[in-house]
Amino acid sequence: MKYLLTLIAAGILFTGCKNESKIDEDKEAKTENTSEIAQKETESGTTTIDIQPISHATAVINWGEATFYLDPVGGAEAFEGMEKPDFILITDIHGDHMSAETLQAMDLEGVHVIVPQAVKDQLPEELNSVLRTLENGATTKVIDFYIEAIPMYNLPENPDAFHIKGRGNGYVVERNGQRLYIAGDTEDIPEMRNLEEIDIALIPMNLPYTMTVEDAADGVLAFAPKKVIPYHFRGKDGFADVEKFKTLVNEGNQDIEVEMLEWYPDRAE
């Protein structure tokens, strides 16, 4: 009897040790899987790009731990509560894109302000120390961001057009393989159609300054970004029909996500 009890106890102990070993193996496997997932996410370089509209063509863009401003206008008060930018992108000389007063009211210490030459020519000389000019087709690097200046202009190319080729910049901002296209004031130009591997695109559509919703949709379908966001869509006669733009894009390519953001807080419903 004593021998039988000893055998039973040994069996229970063995089973317990085996179960504990199995639990430990499961924990290790789970830890390894979690580490593998985290490693793959790190290797992929995918980071959240959060675009916060301020108004019309102005936005604060948080890209992971970095922040940059697009066409800051509206005074420093328009950016209260926002992170200080690591850099600023300005596309053109018009007042809805360039504001010397807004820049002068900001803390620009350590901030790189990327501009076309035409913008630099119109800004006060006191800002020259923070300005970095970029011509169409050129690329610069800020922190670990690569910034390429893309042409933006009206069609047909007339000397008296609102936006002539070579004066302003659209931008492709790239980091770890992710690519954001900021079109600026442009029409459905070849340089836009020829873009590749764009994750997010900001596309304007307002007459008579840029293009129709139909042309905007055609251009987007040509270069097929993963996501497109209409912006800069208040024109001379009111707001462009961005819902029609969304319909046209999705009819042409259901894989392109069209995201609507609130660029006009005072817009009447």
130-163 pLDDT, tens digit per residue, is 999 999 999 999 999 999 999 999 898 778 778 8
CB 233 within 8 A of CB 239: yes
Residue 191: C-alpha distances to residues 78, 102, 136, 141, 200 (Å):
32, 31, 10, 21, 16
pLDDT computed for residue 45 by the predictor = 57
Say yes or no: domain 49-258 is CATH 1.25.40.340: no
- What DSSP string describes 212-259? -HHHHHHHHHHH--SEEEE---EETTEE--HHHHHHHHHHH-TTSEE-
pLDDT computed for residue 268 by the predictor = 55
Angle 242-252/213-223 helices, nearest 10 degrees?
30
Break the chain into its structural domains and give their ranges.
49-258
Predicted confidence (pLDDT) per residue in 98-126, tens digit? 999 999 999 999 999 999 999 999 999 99
- Residue numbers of the chain with a pLDDT score lower than 70: 1-45, 268-269
pLDDT computed for residue 32 by the predictor = 37
pTM: 0.82
Phi, psi of 115 (to 5 degrees): -145, 155
The Cα 62–Cα 145 span in angstroms is 13
The Cα 225–Cα 220 span in angstroms is 7
pLDDT computed for residue 64 by the predictor = 95
Phi, psi of 263 (to 5 degrees): -90, -15
